[in-house]
Amino acid sequence: MNMDSTRSTKQIFMVALAAAALLFAGCSKKMEVAPEAKPAPQAQVVQPVVTTTTSVTKPSTNAVYFAFDSSALDASARATLDGYAAWLNANNSENITIEGNCDERGSREYNLALGQRRADSVRDYLTANGIAAGRIDTVSFGEERPVCKGTGEACWAQNRRGDIVSR
């Protein structure tokens, strides 16, 4: 073997030795050599993270009903208002007007005051459930806007209500 060939073999050996030293210098664990070379990993497809939001639908009824000469909310009214509170909390740009209504019994002045107490009762329930008072207007129509124009308890019960109207 000639001198140049020996020198070149030594240089290749030294470069390979240095490369091996650099390769293993950063490892703190004992490296195992795999018997076969593994194929290069394929590019991974990153799936986008999809966040789902639960859409809250507007309640199907816009009225809550009251007992005779009362502005107290019963369980059915509270259930309806819970649905409205959830919908309003999910739709911050929505504002409402609550219209207080009464049956025909009582004086005009009395029914206007009772209708206002009913509207205020609905508003107070919604604000207690996180709705900003500035998003809610109230008005009383007293006995002026009946949905049932007949007489008798069945008809009067339909007129004792608070209507929730989007504005």
The DSSP call for residue 116 is: H
The total domain count for the chain is 1
Q: Give mean pLDDT, residues 93-116.
A: 98
Average pLDDT, the chain: 84
| Pair of tokens at residue 159 | 């007129």
pLDDT tens digits, 46-57: 666 554 455 889
- This prediction's pTM: 0.68
Is 132 a domain residue? yes
Residue 115: pLDDT over 50: yes
Q: Quick one: average pLDDT of 4-23? A: 60
> Is the residue at 149 inside a domain?
yes
Domain with 135 in it: 63-166
Query: Cα 54 from chain centroid?
Result: 6
* Residue 124 located in a structural domain: yes
Mean pLDDT within 73-87: 97
The verdict on residue 102 lying in a domain is: yes
> Residue 100 sits in a domain of what CATH number?
3.30.1330.60
10 belongs to a structural domain? no
Query: What is the DSSP code string of 50-101?
Result: ----PPPPPPS--EEE--TT-----HHHHHHHHHHHHHHHH-TT--EEEEEE
What average pLDDT score do residues 9-16 get? 65
